[in-house]
Structure 1
Amino acid sequence: MLRTAVSDDVAGWLDVLGPLAFYLVVWGLVFVGTAFFVGVFIPFLTGDGLLFGAGIVAGSTDRIDIWVLAIGVGVAAVAGDQVAFVLGRRYGRPYLESRRGRWVQAAVVRTERFYDLFGWWSVVIGRYMPWARVFVPVIAGVTRMPYGRFLTANIFGALSWAVLITVLGYYAASDPSVRPIAYVVAGVVIAASVVAGVRAWRHDRATRPHAEAEAEAPRAE
């Protein structure tokens, strides 16, 4: 229901803005979603829902080129993650701690454990998970992941996410014969994200007592 509403809203942008402004708005929302934590507050307008909806619009009209849209989304996603990484690297943990809200800080802690578990792959997998998508690039910067490693993971994750989700939306709207395949692939992507999230949650539960014991140790001395 929410995804349908988002798709309808995105279609309305094209009527109001025209093709060029439509591209720029979609790309801009993807960029600020991770560059400046906007995705924390409106994940449905900076993440999968936006891409799928934009793909549906592209599949419903000849005014939007799907490959211009998808590749532009990929470039915007890479650029947004790069900004977040640089900010985390430059300002360190205080930059993360400045994010207000108890649930935001809980998401930061959860993402840190997710990053510890998956390392390089957390940047790739995190692109498909709303909470990880926003925080992993900053945490990678804070922990000073080598720039080359982050860049390769960022390009692979952001481009695959951008092209896959946008093109799925396109085929779901434009080609009835391919539509079932599009939904199957979308289901596989969602299932993989859920498996990664469950594994991170289990790892969190397994390591939390040890981490808490280490945190309490100095107090006992």
Structure 2
Amino acid sequence: MNDFHWTKLFNPEFYITMEVGGVPIGIYMVLFIVFAETGLFAGFFLPGDSLLFLSGIYSRELVETFFIIPSDLSNVTVLALLIAAAATLGNIFGYWFGSKSGQFLYDKQDSFWFKKKYLYESQAFFEKHGGIAIIFARFLPIVRTFVPIIAGIVHMPKGKFMFYNVLSSILWSFLLVFAGHYLYGFFLSEFDIDLKKHIEKIIIILILITSFPLVMKAIKSRKKTAKVEETEE
């Protein structure tokens, strides 16, 4: 930890390979970050999709913290289920927070940990897509942090929320964890390429892919605003 730099906080591999006193705690960090990013409004800056993808690559090391599973499929399945459970609990907490005291966020001042614009963007996203927004939001950075809070604020029926919550958690965790795990094996066996040696490139690619929808939405929003201003003139 002597060579620690704050920029490592944005690197998912830092959490996955973390040790305390020589004891690996990567699995605990992964589960906590998944919970925080989907349940705590201050968790929007944490790595999400890239964390799950890399967790798939390091699946055996992570799961062996708890127990050793000989079967490769069982190993990665257990990891995906654990992450899905953490994501489900995170959304439940976000929903509860929104239903009880989320309204105060609209009056809260911006800070490093909180940007009100993200709240309004997530609200517009939720209003446009309804319950299915919870599934879409899982694959969108920042939005996935605020959508369950919005669902709580508008008092979305609990049964309906839980259906989309569990479904989205399973889809998100299994798709990304399995993709990371089996793409790692594929590149290693077919091209002799160890993806663990190209983590930075993988993170950059995943950030670009997951951020693309948000960038396009921002561009369209600016164009729409510009047209309105031109019309008013």
Please report the TM-score for the alignment, with normalisation by the length of structure 1.
0.72
Q: Deviation of residue 72 (structure 1)?
A: 0.2
Deviation per residue, 1:162-200 (Å, 9 max, x gap) = 111111111122233689xxxxxxx9xx86984587468
The 5 A counterparts of 1:112-151 are: 112-151=123-162
Indicate the residue corresponding to 2:55 in structure 1: 54
CA RMSD in angstroms comes to 3.7
Answering whether residue 164 of structure 2 is matched by residue 153 of structure 1, we say yes
Contact 1:89/1:144 (<8 A) preserved: yes
What's the offset of the Cα at 1:201?
7.0
Pair 1:175-2:175 in alignment: no
- Match runs of 1:1-221 below 5 Å: 6-7=12-13, 10-13=16-19, 16-18=22-24, 21-40=25-44, 42-44=45-47, 47-58=48-59, 63=64, 65-98=75-108, 100-101=110-111, 104-176=115-187, 194-195=212-213, 198=216, 202=220
If each structure's helix is expressed as a fraction of its own residues, which one has the higher value? 1
- Could you tell me how far apart the structure 2 residues matched to 1:33 and 1:61 are? 19
| CA shift digits 1:66-119 (9 cap, x unpaired) | 222111000000000000101101114114543633971011111111111111
Any stretches of 5+ residues in structure 2 without a counterpart? 1-7, 66-74, 192-204, 229-233
Residues 99, 29 of structure 1: alpha-carbon distance in 2 compared, 3 angstrom cutoff: farther
Query: Displacement, 1:36?
Result: 1.8
CA distance in 2, matches of 1:62, 1:92: 35
Matched with 2:194 is none
CA contact (8 A) 1:59 1:169 kept: no
Deviations 1:102-144 (A, max 9, x none): 9710111111111111111111100100111100000010011
Q: 2-side partners of 1:109 and 1:94: how far apart?
A: 13
Q: Which runs of 5+ in 1 are unaligned?
A: 180-186, 211-221
CA distance in 2 between partners of 1:172 and 1:14 (Å): 29
Give 2:201's aligned residue.
none
Q: By how many angstroms is 1:62 displaced?
A: 8.4
Distance 1:69 1:61 in 2: 8
Give me the whole-angstrom Cα distance separating, in 1, the residues matched to 2:23 and 2:168. Answer: 30
Equivalent residue of 1:52, what SS? helix
Q: Closer, same or farther in 2 for the Cα pair 1:116/1:5, shift >3 Å?
A: closer
Offset of residue 159 of structure 1: 1.2
Provide the residue aligned with 1:184 in structure 2. Answer: none
Q: Distance in 1 between matches of 2:172 and 2:11?
A: 21
Residues 69 and 201 (structure 1 numbering): CA distance in 2 closer, same or farther, change over 3 Å? same
